[in-house]
A and B are shown apart, each in its own frame.
Chain A
Amino acid sequence: MTSTVPAPAWTAVCPLSAIEPETGVAALLPDGTQVAVFRTRDAVYALGNIDPFSQAAVLARGIVGDLRGTPVVASPMHKQRFDLRTGECLDDQGVSVPTYPVRVVGGTIQLGRP
């Protein structure tokens, strides 16, 4: 007899304090997926870590900022900017990276399934 244990809906990643404001870190999910987790002054965001232009897993190492008020990260590879809220590339319409549900519970950042 087999039983299926449902994967937990949320994965704890790290304490909020592990990310300095206005920067990002990369997290490795159990299935091998890489997620870039960003902390701005007032929010936390999670995007796929793979830069769709270079295929390199580097988005977490991009510079965080804003483009006319929209929170963005600029890929460290070739500087395309992605909307932290939607994953859309603001420099190349139609290109986007996946987004992940993210929340902070008791000082810990948790990622949900997309």
Chain B
Amino acid sequence: MTRTVVVVGHGMVGHRLVQALRDRDAEGAWRVVVFAEEGRPAYDRVALTSYVDDWDAARLELDGARYAGDDAVALHLGDPVTAIDRAARAVTTASGRVQPYDALVLATGSAPFVPPVPGRDLPGCHVYRTIEDLDAIRASVERARTGVGRGSAMVVGGGLLGLEAAKALRDLGVSPHVVELAPRLMPLQVDDGGGALLKRLIERLDVTVHPGTSAAAIEADRGRLLARLANGTELDLDLIVFSAGIRPRDQLARDCGLGVGGRGGIVVDAACRTTDPAVYAIGECALADGRVYGLVAPGYAMAEVVADRLLGGAAEFTGADMSTKLKLMGVDVASFGDAHAATEGALEVVVNDAVAGTYRKLVVSDDAKTLLGGVLVGDATDYASLRPLVGRPLPAEPGALLAPAGGGGGVGVGALPDEAQICSCNAVTKGDIRGAILEQAADDVPKIKACTRAGTACGSCVPMLKQLLASCGVEQSKALCEHFTHSRAELFEIVRATGITTFSELVARHGSGRGCDICKPAVASILASLGNGHILAGEQAGLQDTNDRFLANLQRNGTYSVVPRIPGGEITPAKLMAIAQVAADFGLYTKITGGQRIDLFGATVDQLPAIWRRLVDAGFESGHAYGKALRTVKSCVGSTWCRYGVQDSVGLAIELELRYRGLRSPHKLKSAVSGCARECAEARGKDFGVIATETGWNLYVGGNGGTLPRHADLLVSDVDKETLVRVIDRFLMFYIRSADRLQRTSVWLDSIEGGLDHVRDVVVHDSLGIAEELEAQMAEHVTGYADEWAGVLADPEKLARFTSFVNAPGAPDPTISFRAERGQSVPVPLGIPEVVSR
């Protein structure tokens, strides 16, 4: 007989319970009824701060959180449970519904703790917990902008959540003050030494930190707020965000007589059962072994335990690893194991490098042989290799392990046992990864990611994945092909430094043999990126793939397609008619592309110049649909027409497309501009995508569709157009310099050492000191641009190559024929391939 489990609360942990139960309950033993207080299904609260990037709440929704198509789950949104009748085994909801249960799971989570400061209820005072909280904070910031305010805010609480809130405020363009009662930031995770460095690094980012004090009083002051701190400081503010910890939401449990802890939290045993065996509690509302866990991972572990118990299992929750690694406003912070040296006799080894801005501490046992924990601030690269060693013998002297990253310090992956977790985000062990490499033939990082999901979340373990490949004997050759031992990036540097302008000179001086279909187009692309005239000039023509050689796209029957540039997708009726007339006159098949332009199919090699003569005369130029180059900058209609648009997306898209047209790169480049956060241009699926904000533009990079879709990452937010263009200039040129051949920006970002943060350091903060050079290179491209097709039409020598037969110019290719389909010409399929294969 089917029993009913009622789940109270639909946060991340409640949702995980439902998922885990439904995944395992093959027999259909349980019907699940979920009551949610919030009006939306479970969303990723851990990523709440990223809501500021695009104000797209739907993006945060957790996968499968609506249980579409699952009749065994009933989800009631916006109808919280108000009472539990344990004797009758039934709950009552706000709407008056009475729902009987066989088992009850409380997943009510926690509420923000607001210290009892006078004035804490004044308008402009917020908490930081839900999407609605962030909407309210945004409204306060906007009010401050339009009124007398200068955009000043205070965050009460300098822990993990407080700094997240400070980041959100900074992303909203406000310079926040952070007030923390403890003498340092993140008191739970770091020690005094790490906290001091953290304060220094955070303050560089326009955040003012007030440690060792608290908010004493808040008063309304002519439409603003005046906050007095306990140390006497007074702050003029527009808004205040309380983010000073959490309190378990245990009122329902208290009301029905379940056991609760002295400082709150529903008491549970190792089975996550409350004092009533029919009632469980999981997540931040539960008090397990005397402790409330304020992280999501332990909550997930509890959800798994309860799912197992409901199905007759004996799983136990035995505490959780509280290790943390995060990046707060670009500052690495990690803490793991016994970070505060609470173990008796524990010894601390500290390297505090004020110049490099890094603080590294290891906690070891009294005999200095076993690693107990540690704190890393400023550079947490070694977190991935150190954390799995906790409780294990140290592979080297503690001091050697703390040597600066990259300086020969750290732990080799070889020292780790197979069960050590390499990717803590997705719980992937060294053994899992070795298995993928040795048994599933995963011979590079992207394949390991696909097989094991290691490295797909925060990416901090990617260097370890590379080490593991090497230790498994997989050589990561960077050689471009048999003719060059260099990588594409190295060849780029050689060409740039030596000024070599031909492939034959490059292969003679730095390679071997005569080249091939891999290195020739790659070098042709490098030569073109560095500006060496027309891509079909002289020897360059023979290096190009057929698409570039004929400036058109080869199709399956040997004909080509033609795509004139339509910047931003904006086109006049007259130009539309010109394209239509060309298509009609040459019998070409026409189709609208995904990049908001028009593709004309079925042109033979010798027709291409005649077609382009007509297109150039009508004012068109090459669309580079054939090249590893900028394709299009797609746009939505923007503020000119759209009721919702906040910026002129079409205008910017045209400007960007004209700026970067013809830019040769390691792979094709796609872009888009959306005029508001609704993102109709799908900019986050592009190599570089721009989304309008009320006051500027957000730039996202590394997006991709195709077989491995990837949402682009936010690179800079709320910048003006000049800054935006400067950052794109640098980003594209840095990509062109350092990417591998045929490596899209998405894969490049995932494989470059340091990932997005490194790229941001280089292109925004100029950490390599090359920003000026990158900009100059782009400026050269922009001024040197000339339409490739106009160049061919003006040069009889280049035109002469557009013949089907060298001995019979004008003779049609007898293998090409067309038939009609839906009113257009399509190729007659060429005979069944006569391939005789082994």
Interface status of A86 (Cβ within 8 A of chain B): no
Contacts of B836 in A (CB 8 A): 94-95
User: In the assembled complex, which residues on chain B have CB atoms less than 8 Å from the CB atom of A20?
Assistant: 539, 541-542
Complex-state Cα separation, A101 to B515, whole angstroms: 25
Please judge, given known A-B contacts A23-B541, A65-B514, whether A37 and B806 are in contact too, CB under 8 Å. yes
The smallest C-beta distance from B718 to any residue of chain A, in angstroms, reads 45
Are B539 and A55 interface neighbours, CB within 8 A? no
Cβ contact within 8 Å between B516 and A67: yes
Nearest Cβ on chain B to A15's Cβ, whole angstroms: 9
- Determine whether the beta carbon of A56 is less than 8 Å from that of B542: no
Chain B interface size band reads: 35 or more
Select one of B517, B811, B814 contacting A65, CB under 8 A.
B517
**B805: which A residues are within 8 A, CB to CB?**
25-28, 34
Name which of A19, A54, A69 has the most chain B CB atoms within 10 A of its CB: A54
Please provide the chain A residues from 42 to 76 with a CB less than 8 Å away from any CB of chain B in the complex: 50, 52-58, 61-69, 71-72, 74, 76
16 pairs across A/B with beta carbons < 8 Å? A13-B806, A18-B806, A22-B514, A25-B806, A28-B811, A54-B833, A55-B831, A55-B834, A57-B815, A57-B816, A63-B520, A66-B514, A69-B513, A72-B516, A74-B516, A79-B517
Q: Mark A1-31, 1 if CB is under 8 A from B, else 0.
A: 0000000000011100011111101111000
List the A side residues contacting B814 at CB < 8 Å.
32, 34
Residues of A within 8 A of B (CB): 12-14, 18-23, 25-28, 32, 34, 37, 40-41, 50, 52-58, 61-69, 71-72, 74, 76-77, 79, 81, 92-95
Contact of A93 among B549, B808, B838 (CB under 8 A): B838
Interface-centre pick from A55, A66, A68, A93 (highest chain B CB count, 10 A): A55
Bound-state Cα–Cα, A6 to B483, Å: 47
CA distance A12 to B806 in the complex (A): 11
- How far, in whole Å, are A23 and B538 apart by their CA atoms in the complex? 12
Closest to B513 in A: A66
Among A14, A40, A72, A94, the residue within 8 A (CB) of B806 is A14
Report A-chain residues with C-beta under 8 Å of the C-beta of B513. Answer: 65-66, 68-69
User: Which residues from B are CB-within-8-Å of A93?
Assistant: 838
Residue pair B837, A76 in contact (C-beta under 8 Å): no
CA–CA, A27 to B811, complex, Å? 10
CB distance from A70 to the nearest CB of B (A): 10
Q: A57-B813, A65-B517, A71-B514 are in contact. List 14 more A-B contacts (CB 8 A).
A: A12-B807, A23-B541, A23-B542, A28-B807, A52-B833, A52-B835, A54-B830, A55-B815, A62-B517, A63-B542, A65-B483, A65-B515, A76-B554, A95-B836
Tell me whether chain B's interface is mostly helix, strand or loop, or mixed. Answer: loop
Q: Tell whether, in the assembled complex, residue B558 and residue A53 are in contact, meaning their CB atoms are under 8 Å apart.
A: no
Distance in angstroms between the alpha carbons of A42 and B545 in the assembled complex = 22
A45 vs chain B, min Cβ distance (A)? 13
Q: Is the CB of B516 within 8 A of A57?
A: no
The answer to whether the Cβ of B550 comes within 8 Å of any Cβ in the partner chain is: yes
Residues 507-565 of B contacting A (Cβ, < 8 Å): 513-517, 519-521, 539, 541-546, 549-550, 554, 556-558
Which residues of A lie under 8 Å from residue B830 when comparing CB positions?
54-56
CA distance A69 to B804 in the complex (A): 30
- B 550-593 binary contact with A (CB < 8 Å = 1; else 0): 10001011100000000000000000000000000000000000
* Contact (A55, B811) CB under 8 Å given A20-B542, A76-B545: no
Which of these, A19, A61, A66, A81, contacts B515 with CB under 8 Å?
A: A66
Known: A13-B806, A63-B517, A77-B554. A34 touches B815 (CB 8 A): yes
Bound together, the chains give a CA A57 to CA B554 distance in angstroms of: 12
